[in-house]
Amino acid sequence: MCVTAKLNRLAGMYMPPGSAVKNPIAIDALRLLSRLSWRRGAALLALMVSATALHAEIVIGQVAPFSGPQAVTGRAIHAGAKLYFDAVNASGGVHGQKIRFVTQDDEQKPDQTVRLVGEMIRAESPVAMLGTVGTSNLEALAKDGVLERSRVPMVGAISGSTSVAKAAGMLVVKASYRDEVDRAFAILANLNMRRIGVVYQDDGLGKDVLAGADASASRRGMDLVVRTGYPRNTTDTSVAVDKMLQAAPQAIFLGATTAAAIDFMDRYHRLGGKAPIYGMSIVDVETVLNRLGPERARGYAFSSVLPLPNQEKLPIVREYQALRNASKDKDLSGRSIEGYIAAKTVVWALQHATKVGPGAIEAALSAPGGLDIGGFRLDFSRSSGFGSHLVDFAMLGKDGRIVE
């Protein structure tokens, strides 16, 4: 074997398996080192490559909607994750290595999600993906198998669907949609509301919401008097509004994303609708307040599967709020804490992994006992596939204040 080939092989031995690092020093040095003796070249290369690895970057990727109807969610999740990664980098990184957060816009189109995730894994060698938005997008990724083949996990997959949480490589940092629906229907039953209308997004999210609503209503003797959907990746809920006005349910449950939920509430109230509206955690409450105003948004009830901004007794909320208050990122919103928690989860795994390489992040997170990230506990060792099953409920009160 020639000296250059031997040195090239040796360079690979000194880099961690599946490393996210491209090593330009090792590559450029081969030309010079090939002119040295084998022993001298090998010794010098070992020193150079090891030094480079110590100061390497850790790549984490996000493919999400940064344009289109769901851009508000993709940008919010990204802003929350970046807020934490920037803080980690400012304090020296993880074991001396800085984090590079790379992104691509999939416009929430499943085929683009699959293509862009595959391209990013091949080009950037990330240790983890983070915060892809949408049940259908994540289901498409699971079907393609790119995460399973590469052993690069999706941490903080933005979906509460059982089909997503059960898929290989998917880690959801919150409770399921079924948990949310069941908690909402329990509250409605206690309020003696039996005739319920359901608005849902016509895709995997909506199917999971409807299945949960059917099961919860059946257990409690409730009647789903009307179910009406709206097309995915749109915000026009006019048909759903008309059907709710005609059926006049006692309460309406929204299995809708932020932009569509706002469109529904705006149209429904303008046309005289009076039924109380219950939404899910996927709706950005701050955006609802900004778009509708405190008075029109008053009375909107919603499930919460992550810490709320007013829960300052939790260390993670105090930490998040301090960083957010010092930031000028306009994309930070109510949904951003989900990205923040996902980012903090990845960093925890990096700090506790035996090595940085394929499968290391998921192995660290799946260990028994779980993790506590500032008063919010996650446990990915359970068979449910969800890191948490915590569901609280809150309501927007006077002047937009959150009432638990």
Distance of alpha carbon 260 from alpha carbon 277, whole angstroms: 13
Helix (H/G/I), strand (E/B), else coil: 392: strand
Query: Over the range 85-113, which residues count as b (16 or more CB within 10 Å of their CB) and which as e?
Result: bbbbbeeebbeebebbbebbbbbbbbebb
HSE toward the beta carbon, residue 267, CA cutoff 13 A: 17
| pLDDT tens-digit series, residues 116-168 | 999 999 999 999 999 999 999 999 999 999 999 999 999 999 999 999 999 99
Q: Please tell me the least confidently modeled range out of 6-10, 75-79, 356-360.
A: 6-10
Distance of alpha carbon 404 from alpha carbon 394, whole angstroms: 4
* Residue predicted with more confidence, 191 or 404: 191
- Above 90 in pLDDT, residue 12? no
Distance of alpha carbon 138 from alpha carbon 121, whole angstroms: 16
Residue by residue, DSSP assigns 41-106 as HHHHHHHHHHHHHHTPPEEEEEEE-SSSTTHHHHHHHHHHHHHHHHHHHHTT-BTTB-EEEEEEE-
What does the pLDDT read at residue 319?
97
Distance of alpha carbon 74 from alpha carbon 387, whole angstroms: 21
- Above 60 in pLDDT, residue 51? no
Enumerate domains of the chain plus CATH numbers: 3-54 (no CATH), 58-175+311-378 (3.40.50.2300), 177-304 (3.40.50.2300)
Give me the percent of the chain exceeding a pLDDT of 90. Answer: 78
Query: Over the range 33-59, which residues count as b (16 or more CB within 10 Å of their CB) and which as e?
Result: bbeeeeeebbeebeebbeebbeebebb
Whole-prediction pTM: 0.81
- Above 60 in pLDDT, residue 23? no
Q: Whose structure tokens read 């450029």?
A: 28
What does the pLDDT read at residue 334?
87
Whether the Cβ atoms of residue 63 and residue 106 lie closer than 8 Å to each other = yes
Mean pLDDT value of segment 247-266? 96
Distance of alpha carbon 392 from alpha carbon 400, whole angstroms: 18
Angle subtended by helix axes 3-14 and 24-33, to nearest 10: 150
What does the pLDDT read at residue 313?
94
- Above 80 in pLDDT, residue 3? no
Distance of alpha carbon 96 from alpha carbon 351, whole angstroms: 11
* Residue predicted with more confidence, 9 or 312: 312
- Above 80 in pLDDT, residue 93? yes
Helical (H) or strand (E) element with 367? none
Distance of alpha carbon 257 from alpha carbon 241, whole angstroms: 15
- Above 50 in pLDDT, residue 18? no
Give me the percent of the chain exceeding a pLDDT of 70. Answer: 86
Q: Please tell me the least confidently modeled range out of 39-53, 123-137, 194-208, 270-284.
A: 39-53
Close Cβ partners of 93 (under 8 Å, ≥ 6 residues apart): 58, 99
Distance of alpha carbon 129 from alpha carbon 140, whole angstroms: 15
